[in-house]
Amino acid sequence: MSAFDFDLFVIGGGSGGVRAARMAAQRGARVALAEVQGTSGLGGTCVNVGCIPKKLYSYAAHYAEAAHEAHGYGWEGPAPSLNWATLKANRAAEITRLNGVYGNLLRGSGVTVFNAFASLQGGHAIGLSTLNADGSPGHNQVTARHILVATGGTPHVPHFHGREHVVTSNDMFDLPTFPQRLVVVGGGYIACEFASIFNGLGARVTQVYRGEQVLRGFDDEVRHFLAAEMTKAGVDLRLNAGVLAIDRQADGLHIKLEDGNTLMADTVLYATGRVPNVNGLGLDTAGVAQGAQGAIVVNAQYQTNVPHVFAVGDVTARVQLTPVALGEAMVVVDQLFGPSAGKPHRQMSYDCIPTAVFTHPNVGTVGLSEAQAREQFDHVTVFRSEFRSLKHTLSGSTERTLMKLLVDTATDRVVGLHMVGAEAGEIVQGFAVAMKAGATKAVFDSTLGIHPTAAEEFVTMRDPVKAA
């Protein structure tokens, strides 16, 4: 008889937590998982208030664009109008379905699921806080040989006058009424995505960002190109601008900027970053070390300074992407319970992580930015192509596409690949495989393109624009 109730207890039902729980149970471990929101929270941020609903709303916005562009292809008649309530209801139904899928996967794997808030109680103990049927608080305690914290992140709103009037990305999918006037504060991928989406859905969108350009950390040329395309599409982008105060008046929200200007809005979205979701977890009680903004400090095996406590995903504030959390979870499972039969232990590499930004147009990127490449290599050759896609030769849209390759001149290896344009994420994913395998520019050049596609441009660029 084991001295512990469970071999592994997972706190948090997001992507990383669910993956770890399922895979560990399939290895024969006794596993439990606690999710404070119960079944409706399974899947975490990505499924409930992140990438999945955001992509669905992006699709919705593209239909409006397609209706307008169709006239160039001979389609006549008025454009359809958005029924906000229908979009919300259909999204909610799909998210509920996905929540159920996650629940079935957990139960089918033999995982014990607690609808409870879990916290570390010291040692190997986990406290579970629930609500009884009569509404009174319930408390329980279990023990586990290993504990995995996978509670993700949460939106952060700074303190300022009028903070109570703003919403976060968590609220945007179910706003009671569609905002005809939307102000988005922030310049990261979440802010840019929501600005693009709601602009496409028909809102008058103003995006306010304190920095000199959106998407800090991305390739500079990509940043400037996207900003120009978003502006051209109708987003009023205010750079080097900050919010001083927000007041609610009879005609809406008055947003006073630091430069003295005032904006009017029905809704103000603050997308100014996310912080690890650690409040109330009892990390200090257990002696778990934390870093900036409460992020859990882990080693290369995702182990904290408390040997039986592990953490993966956004709560560690490393790379805040769902596939990263999934990969980290598998490293932990293999380490604790062994790999799948005939498979080596998983390793997690943070090199060549592809990512997409679902703006209009999309951004897809993998590898180094030009600035990063020049810091790392003595000589970098840059290939670039900018064009109007075939689709838009008849659509009437002025949207343009940017593609860029960065090559380490000494080895000929492609070290950065970037795209701004339709379906950029879909296109870049395949090239990420090639780059992970160490593909050279010569390999790209020897690969035949699929014609006519945008993707073929990556294998037909022959003349460098810069070599230094």
325-382 pLDDT per residue, tens: 999 999 999 999 998 888 888 889 999 999 999 999 999 999 999 999 999 999 999 9
| Residues 169 and 146 occupy one common structural domain | no
- The phi and psi torsions of 367 (rounded to 5 degrees) equal 90, -155
Closest to 230 in 3D by CA, of 426, 70, 399, 56: 399
Q: Of 134-143, 235-244, 455-464, give the lowest mean pLDDT range.
A: 134-143
CA distances from 427 to 153, 204, 332, 421 (A): 28, 30, 31, 10
Of the residues 253, 272, 291, the one at which a domain ends: 272
Range of the domain at 142: 6-154+276-337
Q: Do 141 and 224 have their domain in common?
A: no
Could you tell me what percent of the chain has a pLDDT over 90? 93
Query: Which of 62, 165, 392, 451 is the catalytic position?
Result: 451
Q: Are residues 304 and 447 in the same domain?
A: no
pTM of the prediction? 0.95
Show the tokens assigned to 456: 């073929």
Domain identity same for 305 and 291: yes
Residue 350 maps to a domain = no
pLDDT tens digit sequence for 284-297: 999 999 999 999 99
Beta carbons of 163 and 201 less than 8 angstroms apart: no
Same-domain status, 221 and 140: no
- Residue 348, in any domain of the structure: no
Do 111 and 79 share a structural domain? yes
Examine the domain organization and report whether 400 and 463 are in the same domain: yes
Task: Tell me, yes or no, whether 342 lies in a domain.
Answer: no
Same domain, 203 and 169: yes
Mean pLDDT of 442-454: 97
Residues 290 and 198 reside in one and the same domain: no
Judgement on whether residues 267 and 316 belong to the same structural domain of the protein: no
Same domain, 176 and 86: no
Q: Is there a catalytic annotation at residue 156?
A: no
The arithmetic mean of pLDDT across residues 115-144, rounded, is: 88
pLDDT at res. 435 = 97
Decide if pLDDT at 462 tops 60: yes
Reported as a single tens digit per residue, the pLDDT across 240-285 is 999 999 999 999 999 999 999 999 999 999 999 999 999 999 999 9
Q: How many CB atoms lie within 10 A of CB 66?
A: 14
Which run of H or of E encompasses 141? strand 137-149
Tell me what the mean pLDDT of segment 142-161 comes to.
97
CATH number of the domain within which 321 lies: 3.50.50.60
Domain count, the chain: 3
Compute the average pLDDT of residues 51-58. 97
Residue 82 included in any domain: yes
Q: Report the distance separating Cα 370 and Cα 319, nearest Å.
A: 20
The answer to the question of residue 26 being in a domain is: yes
Section 125-153 average pLDDT: 88
